[in-house]
A and B are shown apart, each in its own frame.
Chain A
Amino acid sequence: MDTIIGLEIHLQLKTESKMFCSCSSQYFEKEPNTLTCPKCLGLPGALPVPNKHALELCILMGLATNCTIAKHIKFDRKHYFYPDLPKGYQISQYDEPLCNNGTVNIKLPDGSTSTVLIERIHQEEDVAKTFHLKDGTTGADYTLVDYNKSGVPLIEIVTKPCIKSAQEAKLYATKIRQIARYLGISDADMEKGQMRCEPNISIQETGKWQMVDNKIKPIGDYKLNPKTEVKNIGSISAVEKAIEYEVKRMTDDLQAGKKLTQQTRGWNAEKGITEFQRSKESAEDYRYFREPDIPIINVSDQDIANISTKLVELPDAKAERYKNDFGLQDYDIEVLTASRDIAEYFEKAFDLSGDAKSTANWITGIIFSHLNKNGIEINDVSIKPEDLAILTKSVNTKAITTNKAKEILLNCLSNDKSVDISSEIEKAQSSAVSDDGALLNMVKQALSENEKAVTDYKSGKTAVIGFLVGAVMKLSKGNADPNKVKDLLEKELGK
């Protein structure tokens, strides 16, 4: 059996105002129905006025995913009947999406790259928030509606049915979230509903189907199995789990001789299962037609050029540069480019220290384990890129040892407040100087404990010095500067 997946991802755009009216789109944790107007309440006669910035952000996502941008923007009405949709239709785009035919590369665990084909990205508006309840005394069903979210700008990114596994779908969703956050077009937090993933899944017998123009076609008289769409997925990891569950459910049903039907199912995160919601409505049922209240919007090359100036270096390009310019390892690159904040932290620290590898090591090692342990973000740590650069340089100029630097770093990280790294380093140096006497004692101890090595050295086998340095380092529990130890040893042996 082959698994065939297409993914629809909705992203709420980070604009100040709504898609077709000037109400604030910052609805999170606001009192219900306090961010509405006749337009987003769907009152008769209210005219929608498109938000330029929202369309810019949609185009930006299209450019970042190698899409072709349409020369004209046309909106359509998508009709369905539900209280979250006050007008009785959603303003969306049907046959002429703003962005077409894009690609997104994802890295698979075996190190290979897979290209996910994007069919379209279109602009639309979000719906209201509904709560379904039951009357305490009569038991009657009712719904409470908050229209604050109604009309918040939304884009929908639709892939072709080219994804072959649950894991690939998860990696793709992660990549879309990463790109959206790099561009700053959406916070893309699935828990907050700013990003929603809806996979379309079908299973087909291997060798009995083929892809023609990115559509699944049967071979011979094979009858294609219908697909299911899964909604209510609240996290990236649930994307993978829901698809795995659905593939198993469909496989089991087929083996039990049951007929599969096209349907929409909801992911139940608590139970870890998908549940039947409704038999899928087809495109005709939405009675799409052109939105007559919004004129066609011309998009010129100059408009695209203006928007392009807001493109930033994206994760793939960054990864390539980190590999070619700095020779960093794949794992380090992945960690450093995971978010724009981390990448910017790294680049700033590198600019000041000039040492990419050490900077990368500090970040992916000690700093990252600190972030993970405390569940915080890179910009929350007390060590700033400037501090890290000073630390890196101090090690490189041998002002302090790597071990000492590690100690300072750990110390500063566990201190929530801002730190004065220079004074920490000075303190370490002065204590190292005052420890010179102790170090000399260790050198003397090492020499007296290793008479054979001393004899060897004096008879010309000077390579044995390495062994003696090791002995002193062991006595100092790794805290001594090996070069200094070597100098002291040579001085003592030369007497």
Chain B
Amino acid sequence: MKFDKELLEHVAHLSKIKLTDKEIEEFTPQMQSILDSAGKIAQVDTSSVKMGYSQTIDFSELREDIVKPSLSNQEALANAPFTQAGYIQVWGATFGSEES
């Protein structure tokens, strides 16, 4: 698979990160070599290997719909660097009105 500048920019967009021109120059061949390396798996002949599910369970074994206690608000927020009025706070416009 060919990995070019446009594809790198698309992946950066999906990852919500901005890359400089220098980084794009630098990362494009790196990504290409990562893909080439991973692509070797596709060359393995699997024609004789049957597709199967390693592990299955029966429908009747599934969890019953019963509520158990949740974490307290303090516990839930314990590891959040920023909080406000019981909410977890995330800074930045990245997640708001991008492209609009």
Contact = CB atoms under 8 A, between A and B. Distances in A.
Interface of A: 15-17, 22-24, 31-38, 41, 49-55, 72-73, 80-83, 130-132, 140-147, 275-279, 281, 285, 295-300, 303
A25 to B, nearest CB: 8
A303 B99 contact: no
Given A277-B99, A300-B59, A142 B92 contact: yes
Nearest to A307: B59
B58 interface: yes
Contacts of A36: 70-71, 76
Contact of A17 (B57, B67, B82): B67
Interface in B41-100: 53-60, 62-68, 70-73, 76-77, 82, 84-93, 95-100
A22 B64 CA distance: 9
B5 interface: no
A37 B70 CA distance: 6
A49 B63 CA distance: 7
Nearest to B93: A141
B76 A52 contact: no
Contacts of A285: 10, 14
Nearest to A135: B91
Contact of B65 (A52, A72, A82): A52
B70 A132 contact: no
B90 A50 contact: no
Q: Which of B53, B68, B87 is most buried by chain A, counting CB atoms within 10 A of its CB?
A: B87
A41 B72 CA distance: 13
A436 B92 CA distance: 84
A50 B97 CA distance: 34
B41 to A, nearest CB: 14
Given A37-B71, A132-B95, A296 B63 contact: no
B15 interface: yes
A139 B21 CA distance: 29
A144 B89 contact: yes
Contact of A22 (B57, B68, B84, B89): B68
26 contacts: A16-B67, A32-B85, A32-B86, A33-B73, A34-B72, A34-B76, A34-B86, A37-B71, A41-B71, A51-B62, A51-B63, A81-B15, A83-B90, A130-B95, A132-B96, A141-B91, A142-B89, A142-B90, A143-B89, A143-B90, A144-B89, A146-B86, A278-B99, A281-B14, A297-B56, A300-B59
A140 B92 CA distance: 7
Nearest to A142: B91
A296 B92 CA distance: 39
Contacts of A297: 56-59, 62
Majority DSSP secondary structure for residues of A touching B: mixed
B90 to A, nearest CB: 4
Contacts of B89: 142-145
B59 A54 contact: no
A33 B77 CA distance: 8
Given A17-B67, A22-B68, A54-B65, A33 B58 contact: no
A33 B86 CA distance: 7
Contacts of B91: 140-142
A66 to B, nearest CB: 21
A17 B88 contact: no
Contacts of A144: 84-85, 87-90
B90 A33 contact: no
Nearest to B10: A285
A294 to B, nearest CB: 9
Q: Which of A33, A34, A73, A83 is most buried by chain B, counting CB atoms within 10 A of its CB?
A: A33
A464 to B, nearest CB: 73
B37 to A, nearest CB: 18
Contacts of A54: 65
A17 B85 CA distance: 25
A34 B73 contact: yes
Given A31-B86, A275-B100, 11 more contacts: A34-B76, A37-B71, A52-B63, A80-B14, A131-B87, A143-B95, A146-B87, A278-B99, A295-B57, A296-B53, A296-B56
B98 A278 contact: yes
Contacts of B72: 34
Given A34-B72, A34-B73, A295 B92 contact: no
